[in-house]
A and B are shown apart, each in its own frame.
Chain A
Amino acid sequence: MGWLLPTLLILSLVLGVALGWRFIRSETVPVWLGRLQRICLYSILLLIGFKIGLDSRVFEAAASLGLQSLILSISATAGSAFLTFLVFHFVEKRRGKKQ
């Protein structure tokens, strides 16, 4: 499949932005659009769950995958929080010295 799916996904997003810019006039999300997003999300999640359940290999490794996910989520959260803190702290300190 290679790059076909990412290309299709990016095209869908770009097409959506163009159509939204042209046809959606309200600043709040239209009800039908919110509903469409929710229907898509829940259907996709149900199907992902279905695929996980169907694959015995993945299902049996669930506990170890859960721990790995937890570690990845904590490290990503901490990494972004501290990098942002360090850079803005440094920028504000330098600005303070200049003034």
Chain B
Amino acid sequence: MTWKILLVMAAGIGLGRLASMLDPQLIETLFLVADIAIQGGLCVMLLAVGLELGGQRAILRMRPNLKMLLIPLLTMLGSILGGTIAALFLPLSFHEAWAVTASCGWYSFSGVYLTTIDPQWGTIAFLANVLRELTALLLIPHIAKWLHPYSAISVGGATAMDTSLPVLVQSAGKETTAPAFLSGLLLTLAVPFIVPLLAALTI
């Protein structure tokens, strides 16, 4: 999946490079059309994500305990903390780093949303979150073994309910299925609120 994503992106970049040789006025129009199409596509994708979440009745009806609710909260806070430390060494302001890291691996949301504000910021968000998904898949077995099973869930971020779930269950045990799914679900619901909020800050 991750390689397919990178291939599609590369194809898009190639097409964009070809189009960049066109008349500057036409380029501006293409930019605008691409922006509108991206925003429309993102709305449809979020509707589809919502449809999927709404269908998971057993999970939506589940009574979570405090421990389960702490995982997504700590995941979000830890990601923002990591972003704060990274911003000290990078040519990024705090709110720019927070908006990228608070996406918790949901690259299709943050990458697209931040691209509509600034293409450079969106590119960083997209790459950082694709890399987070890749890192999560590689590190989850080791983190589950050496740190804590719940740390492994938090590394997965928003992907704990889909792409990283099989790896999590295999390396941290079946009992992590419910907390992992719930953590991913809550982060998926929270990211569309938190990222625009952090992106609007000026720190």
Contacts and interface: CB of A to CB of B under 8 A. Distances in A.
Contact of B8 (A22, A46, A62, A88): A46
B120 A48 contact: no
A28 B25 CA distance: 47
Interface of B: 4-5, 8-20, 27, 30-31, 34-35, 37-39, 41-58, 60, 67, 70-71, 74-83, 85-86, 89-92, 97, 100-101, 104, 108-109, 111-113, 115-116, 119-120, 122-124, 126-129, 131-132, 135-136, 139, 143, 147-148, 150-155, 157, 189, 192-193, 196
11 contacts: A20-B53, A22-B54, A45-B108, A47-B38, A50-B16, A75-B86, A76-B82, A76-B128, A80-B82, A83-B74, A85-B151
Contact of A47 (B10, B41, B48, B82): B41
Contacts of A68: 90-92, 124, 128
A66 interface: yes
Interface of A: 1, 3, 5-6, 8-10, 12-22, 24-27, 29-30, 33, 36-37, 40-59, 61-62, 65-66, 68-85, 87-89, 91
A49 to B, nearest CB: 2
Q: A8, A45, A91: which has the most chain B beta carbons within 10 Å?
A: A45
Contact of B77 (A66, A83, A88, A91): A83
Overall SS of chain A's interface? helix
Nearest to B82: A79
Contacts of A53: 12-20
Secondary structure at the B interface, as helix, strand, loop or mixed, is helix
Given A76-B79, A76-B82, A50 B19 contact: yes
A73 B135 contact: yes
Contact of B81 (A5, A70, A79): A79
B129 A5 contact: no
A33 B16 CA distance: 29
A73 B34 contact: no
Contact of B38 (A16, A51, A91): A51
A74 B105 CA distance: 12
A73 B114 CA distance: 16
Contact of B54 (A21, A46, A65): A21
Contacts of A69: 100, 123-124, 126-128, 131
A18 B90 CA distance: 41
A10 B82 CA distance: 26
